[in-house]
């Protein structure tokens, strides 16, 4: 018989960047959350070393970006398979990538989660799940403890137990290379920074992490290590000697790890009451630094939807839009990282291909296209409307309200939908009166008539906008002409449920 007593609304498996961001988004949406992780606590290890514009914007939308800017360093360094991208002219208030270690990102997200009332349950490995009509029972450890919730989200990384337990397929392509990573002392390195230096068997990098410490990455093609064998310092040293002809006096390893270019994606992001986000839903070659960014953005897409469903404000079908919107985004990341892996192979043919590609990447439109993809600023979710903003992330325009100056992203701090009336007619608010309990109605004027949109360029500021909590545009009215009342009503109903009666 179904066990119906709930411990919380949502259990999140995994306290990595994706799980933590999702926990915060759910709390902002008013949902109860329990986060569990199989580790005994934070390891302090860092795979990722940077975040891109769209993730910076997302953090800005929640009013927590300054915490990250205080720790990391903005640098104009971004690449496509080691070929440099130019960040001049990025259509964002935060055009440059922020160099910040994953351990710091996790610490800052965990601090924010704690402020919102979320504590991580460490040493709690998800080992079993049982779904029924009313909820999902999550077994922890050797089923000695269970948690019961309405939904479970697997944010438990590339080898996700939740994905396997839910029977979700993970098709894709296997690894064709092996990369070893070590945080080490490297006293014999003649320069601070070697990035993707190409050699006969692959390429290597040696990047200064902090005074006295370097991150060494060796990438060798044509050989694939067994995923279950723990990588060793000696393997890293041998690989560096094979590629660079020296180990640069490498010693004192802090952390040794391994990765490859396998590219796989969950065939569905939802199976009943179980959903997947982050690496649990997609793995790929880490070129261009997109995995953590994609996971955080998955979380921001899912959080408000799942929050609305558990609070009874939206139908369950809203959850299916999570797959519809985010699966193609993950697919595109897999696609571009496969291309980057192919471009990184050793050999004369690849050398020629890189030269051709290198001469193309300096063309403004090519650079802007690749940059839009890597920064995720050009994402457009499926939209019914042909307005250029529909489905895209809203630009962070400067605004004037009766209360003073503000900007669009400041209006999104509470993670609530915003209906922005930029002509002050009051007409949008009249249409949305039945949603006033869920949607913030804001009258403002745009400081500028032209808004800059990635992949499009300048467009005329709209007359009104309906912005989802994740910062994507659900509906926009043309600068002049009719408001489009029925389209606005349809968008409000689709995304935020039916109007309140009376
Ligand atoms: C060398 C390298 C460099 C990278 N650089 C970048 C970069 O610059 N930018 C970028 O965006 N991305 C980068 N990435 C990718 C990035 O590290 C990952 O995409 C990111 O960590 C994914 O976050 P996540 O929260 O989805 O999963 P994870 O970080 O893997 O977290 C999963 C969590 O789930 C827990 N867990 C696992 N199984 C269970 C279970 N059964 N029960 C409970 N808990 C469980 C784990 O302990 C872990 O804490 C890089 C990756 C590599 C390898």
Does the pLDDT at position 4 exceed 80? no
Checking if the pLDDT of 46 tops 50, the result is yes
Q: Is 370 in the pocket of ligand 1 (CB under 6 A)?
A: no
Identify which of 196, 146, 134 has the alpha carbon closest to the alpha carbon of residue 3: 134
Rounded-to-integer distance, Cα 340 and Cα 196, Å: 12
Residue 211 pLDDT: 84
Q: Mean pLDDT across the stretch 120-131?
A: 96
Helix (H) or strand (E) holding 464: strand 464-467
pTM: 0.97
In whole angstroms, what is the distance from residue 229 CA to residue 279 CA? Answer: 20
What residue's CA is closest to ligand 1, atom 11?
Answer: 292
Indicate which atom in ligand 1 lies nearest the CA of residue 290. 11
Burial of 470 (0-12, 13-18, 19+ CB in 10 A): buried
Tens-digit pLDDT profile for residues 389-432: 999 999 999 999 989 999 999 999 999 999 999 998 889 999 99
Reduced DSSP (H G I as helix, E B as strand, rest coil) percent helix, strand, coil of the chain, to 5: 30, 25, 40
Ligand 1 centroid distance, CA of 14 (Å):
9
Query: Which two three-digit tokens encode residue 358?
Result: 């290198």
The model's pLDDT over 244-293, given as tens digits with 9 standing for 90+, comes to: 999 999 999 999 999 999 999 999 999 999 999 999 999 999 999 999 99
User: What average pLDDT does the chain have?
Assistant: 95
Q: What pLDDT does residue 2 have?
A: 43
Top mutation candidate among 22, 34, 37 for ligand 1, by most atoms within 8 Å of CB: 37
Contact between residue 285 and residue 338 where contact means Cβ atoms under 8 Å apart: yes
Ligand 1 nearest-atom number relative to CA 217: 1
Question: What value does the mean pLDDT take over residues 364-389?
Answer: 94
Is the Cβ–Cβ distance between 260 and 283 less than 8 Å? no
Question: How many C-beta atoms lie closer than 10 Å to residue 333's C-beta?
Answer: 23
- Dist CA 349 CA 383 (whole Å): 41
Within 13 Å, how many C-alpha atoms sit on residue 111's CB side? 8
Q: Which structural domains are found in the chain, ordered by start?
A: 8-172+264-343 (3.50.50.60), 177-260 (3.30.70.2450), 398-496 (3.40.30.120)
CA-to-CA separations, 194 to 206, 218, 341, 415, in angstroms, rounded: 5, 11, 18, 41
Tens of pLDDT, residue by residue over 293-338, are 999 999 999 999 999 999 999 999 999 999 999 999 999 999 999 9
Q: Are 269 and 327 in contact (CB under 8 A)?
A: yes
Decide whether any atom of ligand 1 lies within 6 Å of the 50 Cβ: yes
pLDDT band for 240, please (50, 70, 90 cuts). very high
- Residue-wise pLDDT tens digits, 17-29: 999 999 999 999 9
Q: What is the pLDDT of residue 377?
A: 96
Which run of H or E residues covers position 271?
strand 270-271
């Amino acid at each position: 018989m179904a066990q119906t007593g709930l411990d919380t609304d949502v259990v999140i498996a995994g306290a990595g960047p994706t799980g933590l961001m999702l926990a915060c988004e759910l709390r902002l949406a008013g949902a109860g959350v329990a986060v569990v992780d199989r580790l005994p606590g934070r390891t302090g290890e860092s795979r990722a070393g940077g975040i891109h514009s769209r993730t910076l914007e997302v953090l800005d939308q929640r009013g927590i970006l300054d915490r990250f800017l205080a720790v990391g360093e903005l640098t104009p360094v971004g690449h496509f398979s080691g070929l440099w991208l130019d960040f001049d002219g990025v259509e964002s208030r935060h055009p440059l990538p922020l160099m910040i270690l994953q351990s710091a990102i996790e610490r800052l997200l965990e601090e924010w989660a704690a402020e919102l009332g979320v504590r991580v349950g460490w040493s709690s490995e998800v080992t079993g799940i049982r779904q029924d009509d009313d909820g999902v029972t999550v077994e922890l450890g050797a089923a000695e403890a269970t948690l019961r919730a309405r939904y479970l989200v697997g944010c438990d990384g590339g080898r996700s137990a939740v994905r396997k337990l839910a029977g979700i397929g993970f098709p894709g392509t296997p690894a064709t290379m092996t990369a070893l990573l070590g945080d080490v002392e490297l006293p014999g390195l003649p320069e601070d920074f070697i990035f993707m230096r190409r050699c006969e068997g692959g390429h290597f990098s040696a990047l200064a992490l902090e005074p006295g410490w370097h991150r060494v990455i060796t990438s060798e093609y044509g050989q694939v290590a067994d995923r279950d064998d723990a990588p060793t310092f000696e393997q890293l040293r041998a690989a560096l000697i094979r590629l660079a002809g020296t180990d640069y006096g490498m010693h004192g390893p802090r952390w040794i790890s391994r990765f490859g270019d396998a590219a796989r994606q969950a065939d569905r992001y939802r199976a009943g009451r179980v959903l997947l986000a982050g690496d649990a839903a997609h793995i790929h070659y880490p070129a261009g630094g997109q995995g953590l960014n994609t996971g955080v953005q998955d979380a921001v897409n899912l959080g408000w939807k799942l929050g609305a469903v558990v609070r009874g404000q939206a139908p369950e079908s809203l959850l299916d839009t999570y797959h519809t919107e985010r699966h193609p985004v993950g697919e595109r990341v897999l696609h571009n990282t496969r291309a980057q892996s192919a471009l990184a192979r050793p050999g004369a043919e690849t050398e020629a291909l890189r030269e051709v590609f290198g001469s193309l990447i300096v063309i403004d439109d090519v650079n802007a296209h690749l940059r839009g993809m890597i920064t995720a600023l050009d994402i457009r979710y499926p939209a019914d409307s042909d307005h250029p903003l529909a489905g895209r992330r809203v630009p962070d325009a400067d605004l004037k309200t009766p209360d003073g100056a503000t900007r669009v992203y400041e209006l999104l701090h509470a993670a609530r939908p915003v209906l922005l009336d930029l002509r002050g007619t009051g007409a949008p608010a009249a249409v949305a009166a039945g949603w006033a309990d869920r949607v913030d109605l804001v009258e403002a004027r745009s400081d500028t008539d032209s808004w800059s949109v990635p992949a499009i360029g300048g467009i005329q500021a709209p007359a009104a906008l309906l912005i989802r909590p994740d910062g994507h545009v659900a509906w926009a009215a043309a600068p002049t002409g009719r408001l489009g009342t029925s389209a606005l009503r349809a968008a409000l109903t689709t995304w935020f449920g039916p109007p309140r009666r009376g």
